Amino acid sequence: MPLSAKTRASSYDIKAQIEDLKHEREKSRAQYLETLKKLRRKADVERDNDDLRKENERLRKDLEEARERALKANDDATDMWGQKEAVADENRDLKRLVARLQHRLEEFMLSRNRAQVKVEKAPKPTMVPTPSPSLRSHSTAPEVISLIDDDDDDDMVVDTYPPRRSIGTPSSTMTLKSEPLSDIEVNLQVAYDT
């Protein structure tokens, strides 16, 4: 083979190799760019996922806090309801106590008014006059002149006679029985004012 032909064939091979290298380089570059894009997308996804995780964590904490606040509000509402019931019971007790006190006050006022009326209507006590010494000397009291005799019976005879200056008529004889087997005869002299 002549030298010129060999040279042409060799230069053709070199050009072909250069073209192959260019294609390989373009292919490698395209693969590199594709890989780079994938890595970027993966980084973006991971970043988004991290943001989502953080957002989910924040939402979870907010939910827990809201749940705790709801439970506390429920407990507070229960306590307030219990306090309301206790206050209502105390109010009912106070109303009953006030009603009893008013009733007692009314009874007290009524009894006091009745007592005042009784005091106002009470009659004045009558004074018994003390007899003068002159009237005492002219008393009409009976005078005992004989007592129990010596007999075995239990009769007791009391004779009364009008004293001097007495006014009135003698009364009839009156018998008082102290025991079934004994009689007491009493003559009473009663003087009536004319």
Q: What is the pLDDT of residue 82?
A: 87
Tokens 């006030």 belong to: 98
**pLDDT (tens digit, 9 = 90+) per residue, 136-163?**
555 454 444 444 444 444 444 444 445 5
CA dihedral 143, 144, 145, 147 (to 10 degrees): 180
H helix or E strand, kind and range, residue 111: helix 3-121
User: What is the 3-state secondary structure of 122-191?
Assistant: CCCCCCCCCCCHHHHHCCCCCCCCCCCCCCCCCCEEECCCCCCCCCCCCCCEEEEEEECCEEEEEECCCC
Name 173's Cβ contacts closer than 8 Å, sequence gap at least 6: 185, 186, 187
Distance of CA 87 to the CA centre of its chain: 8
**pLDDT (tens digit, 9 = 90+) per residue, 66-98?**
999 999 999 989 888 888 889 999 999 999 999
